[in-house]
Amino acid sequence: MAAKPFASSADLGVKEQTLEVLADGVYALTAEGDPNLGAIEGEDFLVCFEALATPVAARRWLAKLREHTDKPVRYLVLSHYHAVRVLGASAFDAEVVVSSEQTRHLIEERGQQDWESEYGRMPRLFEEPESIPGLTWPTMTFRDKLTIELGGDRGELVLEFLGRGHTEGDIVAWLPEQEIVFAGDLVESQAALYTGDAFHFDWAAGTLDRVKALGAQQLIGGRGAIARGRDQVDAAIEQTRDFLLTMQRTVGEAHRSGGTLKDAFAANHEALAPKYGAWPIFEHCLPFDVQRLWDEFSGIERPVIWTAERDRQVWDELQG
């Protein structure tokens, strides 16, 4: 069998971006499995959610958004630290860049390595990479919850850390009046999960329970289609959980029975592929996902930092 091309390095097909209006002044951009974005209008300002991988990529989203509103961006909210979500931040000219404290710490600790790793894995998303001015630094952080009053009769936007999950610091953006949640990479709707920096056990239990308990009628996940209505929202959450629990079962069995990492990968691939194999980034994510869960079963509390070099090593061992 020919070796699979590294991560998403051979994925060069351009995805179609679609701006959808979810409620008065609430927007989402979906892109056929590429990272999603959002924007929420305040009375005289905008809150943007996520920033894509480069300013050039972000500017195309902003041009679409500007067909609907010309309000200035007061807040740019980062759901977590991953490069393809944050390095386009300078395009927004935001007054304030908001994240959890944990995310700011992760940018300090591993932002540079993550940038290099993600660029190698997903080069297509890094449109004109030289337009990135450097790491993105949040200028306002919070531990658990931050509420932004939107003004007029627009209600409020609640930014909330619901527990460790896709990373140590993911937050969601919740509109209680409109019953819309931007869940970042904590929930994927018809896209594979990246769990290479995850806390699988926390995520599959309390964290997803708390996302579900919000009771959203519309959910925008990190990638994939928008879930509309409680049935679809719950289905997206439960699909995310099923992916995580299947991983825990297969990788856990291999770990307990004295198998190798490669055994764990094979068992996990076999269990997940019938349901999830055709979804975006499945083959790309799986080696990194299994390595991190293996580490968790081995008692390694915090994710080992991914570098371009470690990426290749794990890939060659499991997918090579």
Positions in the binding site for Zn ion (CB under 5 A): 82, 185
In the complex, minimum distance from the CB of residue 157 to Zn ion, in angstroms, rounded to a whole number: 21
In the complex, minimum distance from the CB of residue 70 to Zn ion, in angstroms, rounded to a whole number: 30
- Whichever of 45 and 81 has its CB closer to Zn ion, that residue is 81
SS (H, E, C) the chain: CCCCCCCCCCCCCCCCCEEEEEECCEEEEEECCEEEEEEEECCCCEEEECCCCCHHHHHHHHHHHCCCCCCCEEEEECCCCCHHHHCCHHHHCCCEEEEEHHHHHHHHHHHHHHHHHHHHHCHHHCCCHHHCCCCCCCCEEECCEEEEECCCCCCEEEEEECCCCCCCCCEEEEECCCCEEEEECCCCECCCCCCCCCCHHHHHHHHHHHHHHCCCCEEEECCECCEEHHHHHHHHHHHHHHHHHHHHHHHHHHHHCCCCHHHHHHHHHHHHHHHHCCCCCHHHHHHHHHHHHHHHHCCCCCCCCCCHHHHHHHHHHHCC
- Whichever of 185 and 289 has its CB closer to Zn ion, that residue is 185
- Whichever of 32 and 253 has its CB closer to Zn ion, that residue is 32
- Whichever of 82 and 164 has its CB closer to Zn ion, that residue is 82
- Whichever of 41 and 311 has its CB closer to Zn ion, that residue is 311
In the complex, minimum distance from the CB of residue 118 to Zn ion, in angstroms, rounded to a whole number: 9
In the complex, minimum distance from the CB of residue 103 to Zn ion, in angstroms, rounded to a whole number: 11
Residue 120 sits at φ, ψ, to 5 deg, of: -70, -35
- Whichever of 167 and 178 has its CB closer to Zn ion, that residue is 167
Between the alpha carbon of residue 137 and those of residues 14, 103, 109, 146, 279, the distances in Å are: 29, 10, 12, 18, 32
- Whichever of 223 and 255 has its CB closer to Zn ion, that residue is 223
In the complex, minimum distance from the CB of residue 170 to Zn ion, in angstroms, rounded to a whole number: 8
In the complex, minimum distance from the CB of residue 106 to Zn ion, in angstroms, rounded to a whole number: 11
- Whichever of 186 and 214 has its CB closer to Zn ion, that residue is 186
In the complex, minimum distance from the CB of residue 260 to Zn ion, in angstroms, rounded to a whole number: 27
Residue nearest to Zn ion (CB): 82
In the complex, minimum distance from the CB of residue 80 to Zn ion, in angstroms, rounded to a whole number: 6
What the block records as the tokens of 311 is 């990426």
